[in-house]
Structure 1
Amino acid sequence: IEVASIATSFSSFISGASVEIDVSKRRLVLSVGELTRQVADSNRSPHGPSLSLRGRLGGAAHRTYQQAHRNSGSYRQEVHLDVSYSRTIADAGDWNVRIRGRLDGLIEEIDRAVIEEIKTVALPKASFSALQLDDYPRHRRQVDIYLYLLTFARPEHPCAGRLVYINLTDGRQRSFEIAYRPDDVEPVVNEVVAELILREIRRSHEAALKRKIAPKISFPFSDLRTGQDEIILAVSDCMRKKKHLVLEAPTGLGKTVAVLHAAVQYALENDKQVMFLTSKTTQQDLVFETALHIKAGNTFPRILLLRAKQKLCPLDEPRCGAGDCPYIEDFQRRFRCCHRIQNFLNEGVIHPDRLAELGEREKLCPVEAQLALCEDADLIIGDYNYAFDPGCRLLSLFEDRDPSRLILIVDEAHNLPDRARSYYSAALLRDEVQQAVANQEAEIIKDFNRALEAIQSQFEYYLNEAPETPDPYPIQLSPSSWDKIAADFEEAVVPYWYRLTAEESGTDEDPILALQRTLESFSRAVNFNGENFAHLLRRNPTPALEVLCLDAGPFLKETFECLHSSVCMSATLQPFESTKSLLGMGKNVQFLALQSSFPFEYCRLVVDPSVTTLYRERDENVDAIALKIDLFCALLNRKALAFFPSFDLMKRIVANLKTPSIFLQEEGVSDAARLNLLRSFKRCRRGLLCSVMGGVFAEGIDLPGDLAEAALVVGVGLPQICTENEMIRAYYDRLGENGFEYAYLYPGMRRVIQSVGRIIRSETDRGLILLLDRRYASEHYQ
């Protein structure tokens, strides 16, 4: 049924996968799926096998049902419905509205047309028998909307709907007849259409207002530090040219506020959106405070600070998939009707603490609320994951809307390559496999034997072939073998899942279902091709097979290329060519390196070559290093920072210290505990804050003035020599680069420079820096 055909190549519109709005031409193109999403929440998917497997099972059930009815002369499947009409919107005038969808089935009966919508569920037998039409509101609403469109397209032909449910657990079917209820459906459709149009008109009006306000967004401080004007000009120039800027500026210069000011001002002028991404929560909080200074009480820019689900969820354990969370029930409607959400937008400051408080008061999910507010924010502050992790990326910004509106600012960008490598690496532990099937009945396990025996064979083969060494050993996994293992396990897990569901057993934490998800993910990782991936066997602490990403540059490139522009900044990005390679940037990039404005005479740098942290000499140097730290603190008689290459070495040295008032960073503690430690250190008159290089206290914190007047660095900060780093080294050697520099020297020196940068925070600071290791005296490290 092709009721209308309208070109979709609009000159200027917001465009996502399911919504297109052109204010200048007064056109709205909307999918039935998006329209349904706006009017009814989905029932949350239960925990179970992977989403992709469930999708395949549902698709197969759809096709089986349709095949069984295809011989009926009156039955047509996958029918496209495309309806266009004019609608007068209050305060918006006349609009052309186009709604598109695809019917699962259309039956042309003598006196009416019947729309069929097929849905699959996995329910116990009793629950399926007791299923009611309104148990899945979104499903019913989808049929209602199709009836509305078909009636609009063919007003002279009566029509009805049929919602068909197929229970995957036993193949049973149930059908619900749905009569068209114009008084119930039409107002809802009209309301959503009007809301989408008015929202976009408001956004257009706001864009015009932002363009006027942008030149008035002044630099938040009275004086520019040396180099900040150069940063502002470089950022603005890259934005205009749609380029990427790699910026190296020393700590204490004020690069964050300079970059943020220039990017926000450009974004407001040109209807863009800024994402400021960091690797640590402490840095995000500092950026948020800086953004408030830039905002200076204005409505724009709207600032949104994102927090991870685990930190923001009001429940002790998130139950997003269990269907029993009161905060998510009827979320779409309650969110649209919540006046306090509009107050947040009017104020232009959206902090996770305020969303958490709102969630408690309104019983509204703060996690979903922050995601829903992303579209309205001018500046989003959050973790690298929201842009670069394929499992956590904000789809509303990168897929549903045009990502070329986005400007990314990547803070401490030297951390991004390592983080990105972790996104594309994977591991399978033998214990995980064994524990998944432990305590299971033999009758159940026999269905999985083929896959389990193949997994066991893989482990046995590599454990027998590889030398007995405590270090990970390079191997070569077979993609076809792991594809078959995953497929065999999937074949057995389907009836297992159905049985669990039919018996009403909980599937939330079922180990076999979790193993299916792990195997599918691991198999996908094994299939990554290219020199930038390697495979490992790890024996300790438990046998594991691993896929190691050596270089995530090609994946980062895909993200950077879809943006308007970006700024990757840090105090440690040289040499630029290596950074360009690690970030996957092409030719469309500019570089800027600024010298420190810190007066050289204000900082004393001392190298003590009498000790070392070289692994083979570490034990004999622990006491000597502790003695030197005690002497340093006694002579200083002020607050100081000490940075170590690892938690293990730090604990060994600190255990030998006589210095009073030691504040020790513990491994794996919460953000709150780390913040309390920092507050305690700031309050003391004299003390030593001990932490690890590359950790939360080595980057992104400000300790100006007498809050920290000296820093000592133990060792050169090189990553541990291990199989993984040796494989990274060999990879870059094969590319014709200096592998040692990529794998060890650059990361190590960046950690050192970041650490001592905590002392150099302003042009008036004075500080003392002590580097403890004889390697600092060698030319290679200077």
Structure 2
Amino acid sequence: MSANYRVAVRALCDFTAREGDLDHRFTPAPSAREGMEGHTLVASRRGADYIAELPLSGRYEQLTVTGRADGFDPVNNRLEEIKTHRGSLERMSDNQRALHWAQVKVYGALLCAERGLESITLTLVYLEIASGKETLLTQDATNDELQAFFVEQCQRFLAWAQQEADHRQRRDAALCNLRFPHATFRPGQRELAEDVYKAASTGRCLLAQAPTGIGKTLATLFPMLSAMPRQQLDRIAFLTMKTPGRRLALDALTTLIASDKDESLPLRVLELVAREKACEYPDRACHGESCPLAAGFYDRLPAARQAAVEQGWLDRQALREVALAHDVCPYYLGQELARWADVIVGDVNHWFDSHALLHGLAQANEWRAGVLVDEAHNLVERARGMYSAELDQQRLNRLRRVAPSPIAGPLGRLARQWQAVIKAAGLEAAGDKGPPGYALLETLPDKLVGAVQQVGAAITDYLGEHPDQASLELQELLFEALAFCRLAEHFGEHSLCDLTRHGRGRAVLGLRNLIPADFLTARFNAAHAVVLFSATLNPAHYYRDLLGLPTTTAWREVASRFAAHQLEVRIHRDISTRFRDRDASIEPLVAAMAQQYQRRPGHYLAFFSSFAYLEAALARFREAHPDVPVFSQTRGMPEAQRDAFLARFSPGGKGIGFAVLGGAFAEGIDLPGDRLIGAFIATLGLPPFNEFNEALKARLGARFGQGDDYTYQIPGMIKVVQAAGRVIRSPEDEGVVVLMDDRFAQPKVSALLPSWWQLGNHSSY
């Protein structure tokens, strides 16, 4: 082997010991927390000499194998591999059992070599979480037998390790000579690239606000790739909020890979897509007896994996072609290749949510990872969603009518707790046709949470014994219950509990995360360097506080490449869009929009705070100016209609599109040139004044001392700036933004507008 290669025991055995079908039929499984608690429980039952989490390593040729054995009893010379499970062990496949034996044998070989043991007892300890019962499977093995097994596994892996080490050498050598793919940098692009490189070189986080059009995607990927060999980074993750962001990243990587005129850059790029978008047989169950791409998956995986890494470029279509050529599932081939790709492009949930694939792989394999987060201004709300959960009373009631007897009792107890919570919250009188009832609960309803835990346990036990009864509805209730209970275990000042009642039997209990920092800090610490970038990341302290960024996080605001004369910004101080003034504002809003349109006909977007406000303004505009083409976003607009809405903005066309601020057309769309020449913004984008937001304000005020700003002002202005950013997309664009509310002129508000905007003499009519 031309270079050293390091592999974890689990990764080694995953590679060498799996065979047969892919089988993702629902199997009740312990959570990660339950697994850790199970390991602790087993260790507590052993003697005082018992060694838990024993680090071991060994070497075969130039392959180093490392890991932590779950437990070793030196008195009885017994090595244990602990596996937690729910329900009957009979449901465990032979394939899974073989993997477990392979792991404990490799650990046994490492331990015997380290301690000079002639023989050892190997034990698989299966701990049933609900009952605490241990099932022990034991076999004695000699050192010679274990060393032979270890060598066999290493030899199976050796060709792959050789290939991986050679690839790493070639990749790093090429990246050391990586050149920027264009003759010059755009204004601001070099500064951003330099800061990203410094962040990667010093192992820090970076918040970078950079304007649209400077090429942020290339300006972040290029320096992170350049730092990869110098900082010994194992993987780079480029994470996006929406699908178009993935496309931009892949386009930038295509440019970088092709920039070497002598030969293409030896870089493996993988696009991760959602399971429902990658599935070839959505009507089939995910196991070998149902899906042809699951049958024999692990037998065909080696050839598919080899073909994939040889190809290198694995966007969604390329990955699908490789998978189907080898008759394996595209989605699970992608999950496998996440272990072997250099750059992974995917959604932010792959690093930040509670079951994040890339974060889990980084932890298990001790990767040094560089993480790039595009459109990072959305991460606060996305993370809040990741660490929130709901329970739906309607689902409970539907299942109660058809539930088998082992589940019916716990469901009945949960139903009674629901009613007790509704009554205690004063929402009993909410009628079927009346407005929703809403209440913040001062404390977590412990009895209801206990009932939810019992329901989860009952469903888990039932499905463990009756896997053929795993209906979608039953599984969804179980997943809701487990997610709710996991978050309930961590309930604290970062979250609150609320109850919304829409009518009889239609209540939703929510655990709402308010401060994602308490969950995300560990995710930032797990990466070597994280760069969060967007056109809207001001003020920096808002993101530092709410995301839990390290105190060493650097801040960079890249000067805009746009000149003030390109964008005429006006504020209508004579209009108030406050809720109490909405009706009175319609007439002057319509007049202002018509006046600007007549001044310069073309395509405009008009943004409003709600559909009700939009519809009122649209009706009046049509009545007063029937000659001006208008079209509108609608509630629940399907994708085809959204595409048709955007298609109206054709070059040389005219008309006004009415849209909701913060909706599908307020960010992430690109209408350059005369496809869009102006925007009307009839709102400050403030979240509604209600009980929830006032509770959020109080919580953020108590933690950070900035409750009003962090709840209302800053999130609202982020939406405003994002919407206004649709107008100027290139150095050649010119346009106008009309801010229609007197509050935009207030110093505290205008300070949150882009610094290159000039309000000055153009601040009012």
Percent of aligned positions that are identical:
24
Deviation at 1:292, TM superposition (A): 1.9
- Evaluate the alpha carbon distance shift between residue 617 and residue 32 of structure 1 in structure 2; reply closer, same or farther with a 3 A threshold: closer
CA distance in 2, matches of 1:572, 1:621: 28
Query: When the two structures are superposed, what TM-score results if normalisation uses the length of structure 2?
Result: 0.80
Other-structure match for 2:423: 460
CA distance in 1, matches of 2:528, 2:84: 40
Deviation at 1:753, TM superposition (A): 1.0
Counterpart of 2:265 (choices 287, 292, 299) is 299
CA distance in 1, matches of 2:383, 2:555: 22
Counterpart of 1:641 (choices 605, 612, 615) is 605
CA distance in 1, matches of 2:147, 2:734: 70
Counterpart residue type for residue 423 of structure 1: M
- Evaluate the alpha carbon distance shift between residue 224 and residue 444 of structure 1 in structure 2; reply closer, same or farther with a 3 A threshold: closer
CA distance in 1, matches of 2:119, 2:559: 76
Deviation at 1:169, TM superposition (A): 13
CA contact (8 A) 1:412 1:570 kept: yes
Other-structure match for 1:408: 371
Counterpart of 1:139 (choices 87, 90, 97) is 97
Counterpart residue type for residue 380 of structure 1: I
Counterpart of 1:597 (choices 523, 546, 561) is 561
- Evaluate the alpha carbon distance shift between residue 317 and residue 726 of structure 1 in structure 2; reply closer, same or farther with a 3 A threshold: farther
CA contact (8 A) 1:50 1:516 kept: no
Counterpart residue type for residue 368 of structure 1: Y
Other-structure match for 1:247: 208
CA distance in 1, matches of 2:578, 2:344: 43
- Evaluate the alpha carbon distance shift between residue 416 and residue 32 of structure 1 in structure 2; reply closer, same or farther with a 3 A threshold: closer
CA distance in 2, matches of 1:441, 1:408: 47
Matched, 1:39 2:17: yes
Other-structure match for 2:248: 286
What secondary structure sits across from 2:365 in the alignment? coil
- Evaluate the alpha carbon distance shift between residue 122 and residue 480 of structure 1 in structure 2; reply closer, same or farther with a 3 A threshold: closer
What secondary structure sits across from 1:386 in the alignment? helix
Other-structure match for 1:12: none
Equivalences for residues 48-197 of structure 1 within 5 A: 49=28, 51-52=30-31, 136-140=94-98, 142-143=100-101, 192-197=153-158
- Evaluate the alpha carbon distance shift between residue 605 and residue 461 of structure 1 in structure 2; reply closer, same or farther with a 3 A threshold: same
CA distances 1:648-669 after superposition (whole Å, capped 9, x unpaired)? 4334433453466545445545
Other-structure match for 1:702: 670
- Evaluate the alpha carbon distance shift between residue 208 and residue 159 of structure 1 in structure 2; reply closer, same or farther with a 3 A threshold: closer
Counterpart residue type for residue 136 of structure 1: D
CA distance in 2, matches of 1:559, 1:356: 30
Counterpart residue type for residue 290 of structure 1: A
CA distance in 2, matches of 1:421, 1:82: 36
Matched, 1:219 2:219: no
What secondary structure sits across from 2:736 in the alignment? strand
Deviation at 1:751, TM superposition (A): 1.0
CA contact (8 A) 2:38 2:127 kept: no
Other-structure match for 2:484: 522
Other-structure match for 1:274: 236
Counterpart of 2:334 (choices 354, 364, 370) is 370
CA contact (8 A) 1:471 1:723 kept: no
Other-structure match for 1:565: 529
Aligned pair count reads 730
- Evaluate the alpha carbon distance shift between residue 30 and residue 549 of structure 1 in structure 2; reply closer, same or farther with a 3 A threshold: closer
Counterpart of 2:699 (choices 731, 754, 778) is 731
CA contact (8 A) 2:2 2:166 kept: no
- Evaluate the alpha carbon distance shift between residue 530 and residue 160 of structure 1 in structure 2; reply closer, same or farther with a 3 A threshold: closer
Counterpart residue type for residue 139 of structure 1: R
- Evaluate the alpha carbon distance shift between residue 187 and residue 485 of structure 1 in structure 2; reply closer, same or farther with a 3 A threshold: same
Counterpart of 1:228 (choices 175, 179, 189) is 189
- Evaluate the alpha carbon distance shift between residue 389 and residue 666 of structure 1 in structure 2; reply closer, same or farther with a 3 A threshold: farther
CA distance in 2, matches of 1:48, 1:278: 31
Deviation at 1:500, TM superposition (A): 4.0
CA contact (8 A) 1:662 1:688 kept: yes
Matched, 1:205 2:166: yes
Counterpart residue type for residue 431 of structure 1: Q
Equivalences for residues 583-732 of structure 1 within 5 A: 583-622=547-586, 624-656=588-620, 657=622, 658=626, 662=630, 664-669=632-637, 674-675=642-643, 677-679=645-647, 681-682=649-650, 685-732=653-700
Other-structure match for 1:771: 739
What secondary structure sits across from 1:697 in the alignment? coil
Deviation at 1:441, TM superposition (A): 6.6
Counterpart of 1:423 (choices 386, 390, 393) is 386
What secondary structure sits across from 1:375 in the alignment? coil
CA distance in 2, matches of 1:46, 1:762: 50
CA distance in 2, matches of 1:778, 1:33: 58
Other-structure match for 2:761: none
Deviation at 1:758, TM superposition (A): 1.7
CA contact (8 A) 1:303 1:348 kept: yes
Query: When the two structures are superposed, what TM-score results if normalisation uses the length of structure 1?
Result: 0.78
CA contact (8 A) 2:452 2:481 kept: yes
CA distance in 1, matches of 2:204, 2:287: 41
CA contact (8 A) 1:49 1:517 kept: no
Deviation at 1:564, TM superposition (A): 1.0
What secondary structure sits across from 1:735 in the alignment? helix
- Evaluate the alpha carbon distance shift between residue 161 and residue 201 of structure 1 in structure 2; reply closer, same or farther with a 3 A threshold: closer
- Evaluate the alpha carbon distance shift between residue 573 and residue 471 of structure 1 in structure 2; reply closer, same or farther with a 3 A threshold: farther
CA distance in 2, matches of 1:169, 1:387: 30
Query: Tell me, which stretches of 5 or more residues in structure 1 are unaligned?
Result: 1-21, 71-76
CA distance in 1, matches of 2:22, 2:300: 16
CA contact (8 A) 1:144 1:161 kept: no
Equivalences for residues 415-454 of structure 1 within 5 A: 415-440=378-403, 445-446=408-409, 448-454=411-417
CA contact (8 A) 1:252 1:762 kept: yes
Counterpart residue type for residue 46 of structure 1: R
CA distance in 1, matches of 2:97, 2:357: 27
CA contact (8 A) 1:610 1:774 kept: yes
Deviation at 1:274, TM superposition (A): 2.0
CA contact (8 A) 2:679 2:727 kept: yes
CA contact (8 A) 1:278 1:412 kept: yes
CA distances 1:414-462 after superposition (whole Å, capped 9, x unpaired)? 2111111122222223323222212447786246444443343233322
- Evaluate the alpha carbon distance shift between residue 52 and residue 621 of structure 1 in structure 2; reply closer, same or farther with a 3 A threshold: same
- Evaluate the alpha carbon distance shift between residue 136 and residue 386 of structure 1 in structure 2; reply closer, same or farther with a 3 A threshold: same
- Evaluate the alpha carbon distance shift between residue 743 and residue 393 of structure 1 in structure 2; reply closer, same or farther with a 3 A threshold: farther
Counterpart of 1:552 (choices 510, 516, 531) is 516
Deviation at 1:380, TM superposition (A): 2.0
Deviation at 1:589, TM superposition (A): 1.3
CA contact (8 A) 2:649 2:671 kept: no
CA distance in 1, matches of 2:106, 2:29: 34
Counterpart of 1:506 (choices 464, 469, 484) is 469
What secondary structure sits across from 1:769 in the alignment? strand
CA distance in 1, matches of 2:149, 2:637: 49
Counterpart residue type for residue 95 of structure 2: P
CA distance in 2, matches of 1:563, 1:443: 45
CA distance in 2, matches of 1:639, 1:522: 47
CA distance in 2, matches of 1:653, 1:257: 41
Counterpart residue type for residue 40 of structure 1: R
Deviation at 1:591, TM superposition (A): 1.2
Counterpart residue type for residue 550 of structure 1: L
Counterpart residue type for residue 25 of structure 2: P
Deviation at 1:39, TM superposition (A): 2.7
What secondary structure sits across from 1:399 in the alignment? helix
CA distances 1:235-288 after superposition (whole Å, capped 9, x unpaired)? 222221111111122223333322222222212443322222221112222222
Query: Tell me, which stretches of 5 or more residues in structure 2 are unaligned?
Result: 751-765
Counterpart of 1:311 (choices 264, 274, 277) is 277
Deviation at 1:390, TM superposition (A): 0.7
- Evaluate the alpha carbon distance shift between residue 237 and residue 544 of structure 1 in structure 2; reply closer, same or farther with a 3 A threshold: same
Deviation at 1:674, TM superposition (A): 3.9
CA contact (8 A) 1:268 1:301 kept: no
Deviation at 1:714, TM superposition (A): 2.3
Other-structure match for 2:354: 390
- Evaluate the alpha carbon distance shift between residue 239 and residue 116 of structure 1 in structure 2; reply closer, same or farther with a 3 A threshold: closer
